[in-house]
Each structure stands twice: as C-alpha cells, then as structure tokens.
Structure 1
Amino acid sequence: MKHHSRLLLLLAAVSATVSAGANDWPTFRGADRTDISPETGLLKQWPTDGPKRLWLNEDAGLGYAGYAIVDGVLYTLGARDAVEYVIAIDAATGKEKWSAEAGALLTNGWGDGPRSTPTVDAGKVYALSGKGNLVCVNAADGKELWRASMTALGGKVPGWGYCESPLVVGNLVVATPGGAQGTLAAFDKNSGAKVWQTEGWTDGAQYASAIAVDHNGAKQIIQLTMQSIAGVDAKDGKVLWRTDFPGKTAVIPTPIFHEGQVFVAAGYGVGCKSVKIGPGNTVEEAYASTDMVNHHGGVILHQGHLYGYSDKGGWTCMDFKTGAVKWQEKGALKKGAIHFADGMFYLLEEKTGVVALIEASPEAWKEKARFTLSPQTTQRNPKGMIWTHPVVSGGKLFLRDQELLFCFDVKGK
C-alpha cells in the first residue's frame, strides 16, 4: 500500500507539473501560434468596472512588444532611453527580475522601440529587436549566450522595424531576415550558428510571425511576405511550395493552418486568401476575398470558424473552409486585437483601450462584459495606439500600453 500511495503521489506531482506547463504562454500567440489559451475556469462576466487589477508595472519600457509567460515569469521587450531591453518580470507581483540589452533603439514615426514578443524555450529566451538583433539569453538571469543580426544576413530593416517573434522548431530558432541571401534563416538554438537560409526565396521581411506544422511528411515552416505565402522544410530550408500573395504597405497577421489548409490576411484593402496544400505540396486556392481585411489585430480559428476585425466590415466571423461570412459587428466595438481563452474572446479596442469579453459563437456577437484600461500612458506617440495583444495565462489577463504593464485576475475564486 505504501508503494501504491507513493506512486499516486508521484503521478499527482507529474500531472501538476504537466498542467502548470500547459498554462504557459511561451511565445507570440502561444505554443502553437493559434492564440488559443489552454486556460479553463475563467470568469464569464466581470464587475462593471472590470476584473480586479492585481498589479501595474509602470516601467516596462516603451514600444509595442508583447509578452511570453513561462513558470511564473513574464518576458517582454521595452525601450529605455536609446536601448531596447529584454525584460523579465515576476508574473505574481509585477516586480522586475532582470533586464538584458537587445539592441539600439528603433526610431519610428508611429512610436519608437521594439515590436516583437520574446520566445521562451528550455531555459532560454530568444528576442528580436526592432533593428533586427536576435539575442539569446538565460531565462534565469538574462545572461547573454549569443546574438545574430538580420541585416548581416542580407536583410533590410522594414519600415516599421522587425516585428516578428522568433520561432523555435526542435533544435533550431527561425527568423525572417528577408533579402537576396534568403527570406528565412535558421540558427542552432544553443550556439547561434547559422544552419540554413532559404535559397530561391528572396522576398524582403514583412511583419508576420512564422508557424511550424507537420504536413506531407515534413515539418513545414509557413511564412507570409509582401509577395508570397510559402512553406519551407525545417530540416534544410528548402522551399516546398509557394503561392502569390500581393500585399500593400504592410503584411502583418500570423498565418493559420488546419488540416492542410492555410489562411492568411492583410490590411490596407488587401483582404484574405486561403489555399489547400495537397499531396506533393501542390497548391490549390480555396477562396480569396475582402471579407477579412485584418490589419494587425490577429485572426483566430476556433471550431471551424475564423474571428477577427476586418477594416471593411468590422468584427467578423467566417467559415474557415469556405470563407463564407457568418456575422459582422461594426457598431459595438471598433478596430483592435483578439485573444481566446475558455470559450470567450478578449477583444481590445486600439484607440480607446476598451476591453470586451464576448462568447466565441458563430451565431452572432454576444458580449458579456467590458471595461476601459486605466491609467493610460502619456508617453505614447500621438500616431500610436494600444497595439499590444491581450494574453490570458495562469488565470491572469495581461495588457500593455507602452511602459504600463497590467495584470488582472480573470479567474476569481
């Protein structure tokens, strides 16, 4: 019996470890880049003045960077004076643990500073500065382990800076320098040595973050540029398939993949396109339309439907397979970012800081609660808005407005 009890305790401990890890948010849009949080047991309503604020950190640095949350620590990027830093913050208290230099300040007419989200993997943090410095630091103390430059690989800093979040695939970390030496590049995640760079695909970098999928017998990395959607083999960077996607001005949202079908969207009137990647990596268009003109707030696939804000029709729900519009809502909430947790969407209106909680329903817009983020920064560029995406992790909702980093309790008792 003693042995049996010990076994049960061991299994319980393993189970607790697994579930704790399952609630982590290790990179932009989560571990699988779907922006679907694994959290459960969250509040379905909020008090009229919003969920309880647990803490506010007023020195997270300037910029629009997102956050990764792993083992109770939040990792982000922020600019202080003329330097961009990787910053680690205790997710329970909001107190800073350490900061490490990422690179010189990106200056921009819509606001200076970093735009990307760090990626955390196996005790290391990978972060990309606005000017394209990819740094790897220890998660525990911020000690720098290696760095690489996107411009040294032939890349040109895009107009709004490098914005993508690094992608860890097995022993590689992948980024998008863009340019004549190859659109994508992969590095050994431990040493920083370059392993490959795509030959024959030389589009410049845009602002989307790549995804990794298993399809047609290979680990494929799917990325979006101003000219193309393409899948490359993670093993050697060989281009497996490519299809035209003519963007305008800036191409930003993360590609979405499900059962051999890829969906991408962009703003500036471009709209969306979906393709099926068949046997032998043949590409067949499923649909293309302007029903989802998604600028940079993101699109989420949930139970066969796509949800996001369209510059044309407002908040939109579409059938993933066919592109058919299920509903649109323009009056209740203006343009912004979207995040999913426990059957609900957390929507952030970029101009006002209003946060709305709606049911993830293909039937209609079903709003349950809202509040306005307060206080808001006085340091934001007049052209800038609240562009950092919401994240729910560990029963907490994290929001950011430049140097102000907020943590709210969305689990309750």
Structure 2
Amino acid sequence: MMATTLAMAADWPAWRGLDATGVSNETDLPSTWTPDGKNMLWKASIGGRSTPIVINKKVCLITLAEPEDATKWQERVVCLDTDTGQINWEHRYNVFQTDIPHHRVGWANLVGDEKTGYIYSHGVEGMMYCFAPDGTVVWSRSLGEEVGRISGFGGRTVNPVLDGDLVIVSFLTAGWGSTYIPRHRFYALDKITGETVWVSTPGDAPKDTTYSAPVIRVIKGERLVIGGNGDGSIYAIRANTGEKVWGFSISKRGINSSVVVDGNLVYASHSEENTDGSTAMGRLVCLDAEVISNGKPKLVWMVDGFTGGYSSPSIHAGRLYHVDNSANLVAFHTKTGQKLWKHNIGIAQKASPVVADGKIYVADVDGRFHILKLNGDSEPEILDIDEFKEIDGSATQINGSPAIANGRIYLLTNTHLYAIGAKKISSRPSETLPDLAEKAPSGSPATWLRVSPSEDILPVGGSKQFKVHTFDAKGRLIGQVEASWSLDGLDGTVNDGNLQLGQKNISQSGLVIASVGALKGSARISVRPTVPFQEDFDALEIDSVPAGWNAARGRFQIVPDGSNKVLKKLSENPRTWRTTVYIGDPTAKSYVIEADIKGSEKRRRMPDIGLVSHRYTIALMGNTQKLMVRTWLSELARFSKEVRYRWGPNIWYHMKVRVDNKAESATIRAKVWERGKPEPAQWNIEAEDLIPHRQGAPGIYGYSSADIFYDNIVLTSIEK
C-alpha cells in the first residue's frame, strides 16, 4: 500500500486524530499544568461538549452561542488563533424543529480538510455546513427538510468524516420513496459541492439515535467505511459506492462508541444487553475483517461485561485503552483481549482517551483532567490531575477529548477552552498515512454502476446533470462512462444525463436510470412544487400519500371524506405521533401557507395540529386549548408565544400563516377560523423573532394522539 505525506500532519483535523485511533505522535508534551498558569498558554471563555479540531493555525469547535441568554441561543462554529486564543471567525445559525435541549447543542465534532482548509459541521437540528478557511459558507444542507433526518431528544449527532473527495455523515431518516422506512443511513456528499454521491442503508430497524463515528480503512483491497449503527450492529460499507460488505450484531440498543481499527482487526464495544442471551451488560469485541463468512467477520475474542458505551477506545503498541461507563480506564492486549490493568479516574465517563508522548490524556465527566504515564503492561503512574469547578462548587463537565497538535494540548470544558503547552512551536516532520485512493487494476470488469448525484431535491421545471462511474467487485473506481438514460415516475426528459423536468406543479418522486450493458444504476429525485401551489388530494389514490413527501408514508394516508379526499394522520403508533412533513423547497421564503385542518378525540385526548413556515411551527394545541408559535420544541424560551384558543373535535377549521422578514427581525402571524365562515380581519397571534429564520420549507405538523385530517393546502406569494 502506498503512503502519502500530509502537508500539515502535526494538526489534529478530526476528533480521533489523523488516523482515527486516538493517538498522536507528538513528543515533549507537558506532564503537568494548572488552569491558572503553569504550562497554560491561554484560556478562552468558550465552552462546549465536543472535541476541538486544529487546522492551519486555528483551533475550531462547535458549541452553543450565548449560553447565559436563552433568547439568543443558537448553534455556532467558531475558530480561534492557536497562538493567542483570539476569535478568528465564527458562524451562528438557528436551531429549529428539534426537541434536543440547549445543553446538548454542539454535540458532533467538526472535521477539517487538510488539502482545502475547509471545515465541516453537523448540527443538532440537521444543518450540514462546509466553511472556507475564512469562515465563508461554501455550501449548506438542511437534512431534515431535504431527506427527513430524524432528530432525537438525547442530542446524539454523528461526526462527519472525510475520505478523499467525500464527506460522510450518518443519521436516522424517514424519507420518501425507498427511504420512507425509518433507518440509520449513511450519506456520502461531495466535499466541494455538497451533492449526494451515495446513500447506504446497511441495517435494520434502529433502536436509538446514536453517535458512533465511522472510520475509513482499506482491508483486503476494499476501501471501507466501518462504524456502529442504530440497530446495534457494526457494519462495513464500500467507501466509493455505499454497498454493504459485512455486518456484526452485538447489542440490543444502538451503538454509540466508535470503533477503532488496527490492520485487519476491528474493535467495538457497547454497554447494553447483548444479542446472544448473555446475562452480562456490555461487551468488547475484536473482529477479523479479512475473514468473512455468511456476511459476518470472524470473532477473534470478546470480553463480556465491559460497559464501554459512551467513550471510544485508543489503540497503540499492541494495547487497547478504553474507559467504561463508570470511568474505569482499562488496558487490553490487542491480540488476545487479556485485561492488563484497570485504573479508576472518576464516577461517570463520556470522553475518550488520547495517547501521546508515552502518556494518556483523558477527562472524566465530573470535571477532572488526568495525565497518566504509561508503564507497559502495568498500571500507569499519575502525573497530574486538574479539577474544574463552577462558582457554586459543582463540577464543570468535560464531555470531549483533548486535541493534540504542534506540541500543544487543547482541552474544552463546559465553560472554557484551554491551550496547554509551549508558547513557541518547533518545526515538526510531517506524518504519513496510508493512501486510500486505490483504483481498480487495468481490465477489471465492472460490477457496480453509480449515478451521481444519487439523490436530489428539485423544483418544478428544474434541471440537473448526472454522471455515471463504474466500479469493480471490491468497490474500486474504474472510471466515468457513457450510459443510456430513462425516467421512472417523473414528468420530464433525460438526454445524455441531463434531466429536464416538466412544468406540472405537483409533488413528484421518481428515478433517473442509467444503463451500461447489463448494469443499471439510478438517482432518486423528489420534485417539490413551487409557489403558488394547491393540494386538495382529490387526484391521489386512496391509502397513498403525496409523492416526494418525507416521513409521510406509514404515518399518513389519503382517505375519503364524503365526495372528497383528505389526508389523514394516523394515531395507532405512539412512536410516530409527532411528525413534521416538508412539502416544499428548504430555500423558500416570502410565502403564505394555509390549510383546512380537523382533529378528532380519543380517550379524552385531542391532538396538536399545525403548519410549518420559514422553520416556525404554528399549532393548535388540543389538550391545552391554545394556539402556539415556536421554532425549537424543547426550548420555548428561545422563541415562542401562545394564546388561548378554544376549538373542538371533529370540526373543520382553516389556518393561515404568514411570516414577514424585516431587516432585524421576523413577524409571524396566524389566524384560525371555522371552515365556511368569513375570514376574520384580525390575526389570532402575532410574534416577533429577533433572531429570525429567513427561509424554510413549508410543511404540515401533527401530534396525533388522536386522528388528524388535512385538506386544501394552499401556498401563495407575499406581494412586495
């Protein structure tokens, strides 16, 4: 395998370092320090829960903005100068349509691209950003509005990872067409444009939202993305195509701990019930990814009862270092699984250990940062322990790992970022990593055809150019090829890979299909209608849902209502009671949305029903008999307003919502009245948001503790 030299290899551009092992080759690192002076270069009053990255003389992190003022809560990406701690640039953006609480904002770690200097983030609300070195937004994706990304209360958000020309991110989705069933999916995006290159669904029904970050390795000539899944398994998928290569089930809950890979050996852990009937909670396994039988790698060894559920392991010099949920740091022999020693560092654990300069650097949740000297197969020596406290004496939490770069250690607590180490940085040689850009040998037969972009959201009348590449049996690139083209389920034409959609202003979904000999590949397309638009559901089949609507199939269905048809939100499954369905372009703005809505009553409960506009939800609250406007479900203090509004079951109402953006704010207005009666002159509710959303897909919202019905959805432009 060839090797490549990275220009800034002493940086720390990703959560677990350059090769995702939690190991740094830095030397002459401090063995002791104090938060008030000794070996501390600077301290910045910026806290967070993730691990910073270090790239091109900047230390960058993702965190909550304005933590002391709920009305100003946003997610932000901020980069500071590594020498001074002064802010180089920052970008703030709103959190919306999630029930993740504010103290979990900034969960997923950033990743930086050494070649371009670009920085990538994945926010709790589903915004994916690519930033230029100066903080300019290169591209962004609103994954919830586009592909039905599911946001869970716990805040668990997966780090993006880079591989060649791709940035890969995973999350739970309930999309449209073939992705309507909720699953944990991997999305590979073009790192320069943000377009979707492939989508992979390797697993079964997820048990949890999770935050296991995958790693990239070449094993037996196959370039693989290897990581945990929400269904409790570890999967390997081909990095160029998304094809599943193998899977190994280990837990009855989702996997949060990330794997670490050494050669052909994959190490994984969890802290829940095991899948094989073992009475022990938790397990650490070593898998041989070169020996695959019936789609499963060989189990080399396992340690039952090891509860490594939150922290992720480091691997160095034949030893695996891992911290269990009770903050016991344990060393294992990598070939046999033999436990070499155990060292307690606290009570509870989230952060992962980092190995560097013959030491382990690791923090526990309760605000203590440990520096330990490694001692071979014997328990390490304590070199330094520093404890962080709040003003009231409580512990300052530490959830992330330290980043080690250019002779310095960067540690993020819940309240501060610390730079520890030398003031002057000596020159350091670049490190080398395996070159993963392997191509198929000359003459290899093609077994896989990839159409890219593989998925897109387009407006009525829109166009898109597609490309086709072929790959061999190991997922190695052969090259770009010409193909024959056809459409399935779309109004439009495709010639030489150029899709031109028709002018039918209706919701659509379908495929752009490419054929090369016996090989076929396709790209999924959702066509979102443009304003003005009306949907009365009468042209749709009974029991169906509008094409291209995320999270609709299985939760909604078209039903008869007298001589008409309406959309019904089902109430049988409590897990799908709360649903937001986006029906338009995420960049839409300056529109009015209105619809007929009706709620039923079940066991003395009424549902919540509403509309979504510009990333605000306006809902009739059934049990509380209120009309509410909000944007962040779990943090109403950020922005919300409610008024009393009495409404009854089994009565059709008409709701109208208008959002007006001004220079420094947005005004959200809504009115509701019984269908068939005159529209009232006054708005029932008006609210001003001082940190406004400037755009957002129109949609419908429902919390269906009882059945909900929608009809006559209308979108019109706001006249300037």
Bin for the TM-score computed over the shorter chain: 0.7 to 0.9
Match of 1:276 in 2: 288
Check the 8 A contact 1:317/1:362 in 2, yes or no. Answer: no
Change (3 A) 1:94 1:123: same
How far did 1:334 drift? 4.4
User: Any conservation in 1 of the 2:41–2:422 contact (CA below 8 Å)?
Assistant: no
Structure with greater strand percent: 2
Q: Secondary structure at the match of 2:213?
A: coil
The question of 1:129 aligning with 2:143 is answered: no
Q: 1:365 aligned to 357, 379, 393, which one?
A: 379
Residues 12-411 of structure 1 correspond to what in structure 2 (within 5 A)? 21-44=8-31, 51-58=38-45, 60=46, 63-80=48-65, 81-104=72-95, 108=100, 111-121=103-113, 122-139=116-133, 141-151=134-144, 152-179=146-173, 181=179, 183-201=185-203, 204=206, 205-226=209-230, 227-248=232-253, 251-268=255-272, 269-279=281-291, 282-311=296-325, 314-330=328-344, 333-336=346-349, 337=351, 338-351=353-366, 353-374=367-388, 376-377=389-390, 385-409=397-421
Alignment deviations for residues 16-53 of structure 1 (CA, whole Å, 9 cap, x no partner): xx797121000111111111112112234558988422
What is the Cα deviation at residue 266 of structure 1? 2.0
- What CA distance in whole angstroms lies between the structure 1 residues aligned with 2:302 and 2:229? 17
Whole-angstrom CA distance in 2 between matches of 1:114 and 1:46: 27
CA deviation after TM superposition for structure 1 residue 377, in Å: 4.8
Q: 265-274 or 220-229, which moves further after superposition? A: 265-274
Cα 1:217–1:203 change in 2 (3 A) is farther
SS at match of 1:111: helix
Instruction: Flag the structure with larger Rg.
Output: 2
Instruction: Report the CA distance shift for 1:41/1:234 in structure 2 as closer, same or farther (over 3 A).
Output: same
Spell out structure 1 runs of 4+ moving beyond 6 A: 47-50, 410-413
- Secondary structure in 1 aligned to 2:258? coil
**Change over 3 Å in CA distance of 1:255–1:187 after alignment to 2:** same
Query: In the superposition, relative to structure 1, how do residues 297 and 50 fare at CA in structure 2: closer, same or farther (>3 Å)?
Result: farther
Q: Deviations over 1:259-295 (max 9, x none)?
A: 2111111235323222112256751112233353123
Deviation of 1:333 after TM superposition, in Å, equals 4.5
What is the one-letter code of the residue matched to 1:272? L
- Secondary structure of the residue aligned to 1:159 is coil
Q: 1:287 to 1:110 in 2, by over 3 A?
A: farther
TM-superposed CA distance for 1:406, in Å, is 1.2
Q: Percent identity?
A: 20
Q: Answer whether contact 1:107 1:113 (CA < 8 A) is retained.
A: no
**Residue by residue, what CA displacement relative to the aligned partner does 1:113-143 show, whole Å, maximum 9, x if unpaired?**
111111111221100111221111112x211
Unaligned runs of at least 5 residues, structure 1 = 1-17
The whole-number CA distance in structure 2 between the counterparts of 1:405 and 1:366 is 27
Q: Distance in 2 between matches of 1:170 and 1:68?
A: 19
Q: 1:46 to 1:407 in 2, by over 3 A?
A: closer
Indicate the larger mover: 118-127 or 250-259.
Answer: 250-259
Unaligned runs of 5+ in 2: 66-71, 273-280, 426-720
Q: Which residue of 2 aligns with 1:7?
A: none
TM-score of the superposed pair, with normalisation by structure 2: 0.50
Query: Which amino acid letter does the alignment assign opposite residue 54 of structure 2?
Result: I
Counterpart secondary structure, 1:385: coil
TM-score by length of 1: 0.85
With over 3 angstroms needed to count, the CA separation of the structure-2 counterparts of 1:33 and 1:176, relative to structure 1, is: same
C-alpha distance in 2 between matches for 1:50 and 1:333: 24
CA shift, 1:72, in A, is 1.2
Whichever residue aligns with residue 413 of structure 2, its letter is: D
Larger RCO (CA within 8 A; separation ≥ 6) = 1
Q: Deviations over 1:30-88 (max 9, x none)?
A: 11111111211223455898842211111x25x41221101210110111132101111
Instruction: Specify whether residues 20 and 407 from structure 1 end up closer, same or farther in structure 2 by C-alpha distance, changes over 3 A only.
Output: farther
Amino acid at match of 2:27: T
How many residue pairs match? The answer is 388
Q: Could you tell me which amino acid in structure 2 is paired with residue 321 of structure 1? A: K
Query: How far apart, CA to CA, are the structure 1 residues paired with 2:35 and 2:200?
Result: 52
Q: CA deviation at 1:379?
A: 11
Distance in 2 (CA, whole Å) between partners of 1:78 and 1:53 is 22
Inter-CA distance 384–222: structure 2 relative to 1 (3 Å threshold): farther
Alignment root-mean-square deviation, CA: 2.9
- Aligned counterparts of 2:337 and 2:17: Cα–Cα separation in 1: 25
Contact 2:396 2:413 in 1 (8 A): no
1:125 partner amino acid:
I
> C-alpha separation between the residues in 2 aligned to 1:411 and 1:19?
24
CA distance in 1, matches of 2:194, 2:57: 26
Higher helix share: 1
Aligned to 2:526: none
